[in-house]
Amino acid sequence: MLVLSGALTTFVAAAATNHAQDAPVQVEQTAISGPDAGQRGDVVAGHVPSQNEQAQDAPVTALDGATDGTPPDWWSPGEGRTFPEYLTYPNANGELGLLNASGTFETRGHPFFEPIGRNGRACVSCHQPADGMSLSVRSIRQRWEETRGQDPIFAAIDGSNCPNLPQADEASHSLLLERGLFRIFLPWPPKNAEGQAIEPEFSIEVVRDPTGCNTHPEYGLTSDNPMISIYRRPRPVANLTYLTHQGFGVDYWRDKDGQLAARDEDGRPANMNMMADARHATLQSQAVEAAVTHLQFDGALSPAQLGQIRAFEEQLFVAQVASNGAGSLIGEGAPPAFGPYNLRDGKVGELGNNTNTFVFPMGDAWTGAAAGDTAQQRDMRASIRRGHDVYFYRTFWIRDTMHLNTVGFGNPTKRTCATCHQMHMIGSDVANGWIDIGTTNLPWAKEQPRNPWNAHQPDLPLFKITCRDDVPPHAFLGRVIYTQDPGRAVITGKCVDVGAIVMQQFRGLAARAPYFVNGSAANLREMVDYYDRRYDIGFTEQEKIDLENFMASL
């Protein structure tokens, strides 16, 4: 049983009561004590009480985000707007569309939109509709300028590089302002579902600590409440029926490593593709942690509030709806992959890496000229189609990728982008799994070149991971690994999981740069270039342009 603060204990009791009334499913108890097994029936994950302790102890800056006039595309907490059934926002590549499939509602009093914690934030603070329900660096920078750093997104707890830093100083928020990264603080060693420490397979040494948080006596790894601080992008809160599906590839055992899958509150095998490190498998348990860590909420979200959050998140579909070059991406004649209505109507939990289903079905759309098309439209539409074909058919050697080259494909394997990004309609992984493509592990992670002529200093922490001799080494990096973010290993404590990150969905990309878990790709070109470099693909310039155009249309 978890040892919780008073408010969280109250919540657990309430949730258990609700569970008994609504879903009388007996959850079997076993002796299993891994990081995922205990998620069955538990809305409060084992690591949350430790996080709550730091969140409540950290300073709360009185931020209100007041501006002379709220920008129309920025949703402030508690402003009580109406959320319409359909809304659009312009972006650099065209226009984004959001389908609120259950219809118009008032956000007044809704827990997703109200500042329920102590720092003035709401969920919507970091999951902005105009940014595809994520948060772009462009918006973050704009809010800094408009509010002189007073928007709640800059809260000390995780909107600054470390809570101890001078909060009025722009440099204290550099990771958020420059890369769009929020501080994620997790107990080390990791906790199992019962809140007990898991013995990790490796030791962690802080090699570089530019934010000061990992070595800080109150917030760091040697504090009384030992925490590792890593910095990650907020993921889009949309199209989540796909990411929480319980269809193909979701079973009691995970097909990529044979280990136990997490369970939902009813004890059923759950999808683990929501969070970067898969530490939550349900929207409810994620919401509980998010309220504690990001909102500094010390109360108990009621089952009704959790239900409201879940219901909102499960019916929101986001996709690009217009392209600057191609014109409308929806409606008659447009590819069936595009737009939020097709997402709403798509098959959930389907493997798309085959020519029956396709990941992003293009049909016969845009294969011929239609009356009224401009030359620019024809050219862009042709480029988007070519980009799809590069994504779906262009083979290259995928190699040295943990949890891909180790799961039966061999190393290397000659495959395509769609081998990994294969979930029908959103391009994430359909099965439970996480992969290390090198975005946080050296030698592939983006690092500042160190030389006498480069004044830029590294901005992310660097950890040295040393795996024990009695466990198998990481298949490609051995027993000593340098990483900016241990990824899934922060939850499991396993050497093979160091740097492994759950891949993201491809929707609304044009609205939410930068990309990758650590914001290391500032734009779509940098993302394509990363893959080109990492896997020695040899994309032509035209292939890169086409891929960019395709991805910006999703």
Closest CB 472 distance from other proteins, rounded Å: 5
Cβ proximity to other proteins: between 32 and 304 the closer is: 32
Determine which residue in the list 248, 317, 506, 535 makes contact with other proteins, applying CB under 8 A. Answer: 248
Query: Of 332-361, which residues contact other proteins (CB under 8 A)?
Result: 351, 353-358
Phi and psi at 464, nearest 5°, equal -105, 120
Query: Of 456-485, which residues contact other proteins (CB under 8 A)?
Result: 472-473, 475-476, 478
Cβ proximity to other proteins: between 57 and 255 the closer is: 255
- Of the candidates 424, 335, 429, 322, the one whose C-alpha atom is nearest the C-alpha of residue 386 is 335
Neighbours of 197 (CB within 10 A): 15
Closest CB 258 distance from other proteins, rounded Å: 4
- Burial (CB count <10 Å: 0-12, 13-18, 19+), residue 210: middle
- Of the candidates 354, 438, 443, the one whose C-alpha atom is nearest the C-alpha of residue 403 is 438
Between CA 553 and CA 387 the distance in angstroms is 10
Closest CB 358 distance from other proteins, rounded Å: 8
Query: Of 1-40, which residues contact other proteins (CB under 8 A)?
Result: 28-32, 34, 37
Between CA 159 and CA 9 the distance in angstroms is 27
Q: Is the CB of residue 396 less than 8 Å from the CB of residue 535?
A: yes
Closest CB 476 distance from other proteins, rounded Å: 6
Cβ proximity to other proteins: between 327 and 412 the closer is: 412
| DSSP-derived 3-state class of residue 338 | coil
Q: Is the CB of residue 352 less than 8 Å from the CB of residue 546?
A: no
Closest CB 386 distance from other proteins, rounded Å: 15
List the beta bridge partners of residue 463: 206, 483
Q: Is the CB of residue 236 less than 8 Å from the CB of residue 505?
A: yes
- Burial (CB count <10 Å: 0-12, 13-18, 19+), residue 440: buried
Query: Of 428-447, which residues contact other proteins (CB under 8 A)?
Result: 431
Q: How many residues sit close enough to other proteins to count as binding (CB under 8 A)? A: 51
Between CA 42 and CA 19 the distance in angstroms is 11
Cβ proximity to other proteins: between 250 and 275 the closer is: 250
Determine which residue in the list 15, 176, 260, 528 makes contact with other proteins, applying CB under 8 A. Answer: 260
Cβ proximity to other proteins: between 284 and 353 the closer is: 353
Place of tokens 């898991």: 198
Vertex 484, ends 36 and 478: CA angle to 5°? Answer: 75
Cβ proximity to other proteins: between 57 and 389 the closer is: 389
Query: Of 392-421, which residues contact other proteins (CB under 8 A)?
Result: 392-393, 395, 397, 399-400, 405-416, 418
User: x/- contact string, 357-396, with other proteins (CB under 8 A)?
Assistant: xx---------------------------------xx-x-
509 lies in the site for other proteins, by CB under 8 A: no
Residues at the contact surface with other proteins, assessed by CB under 8 A: 28-32, 34, 37, 248-249, 251-260, 351, 353-358, 392-393, 395, 397, 399-400, 405-416, 418, 431, 472-473, 475-476, 478
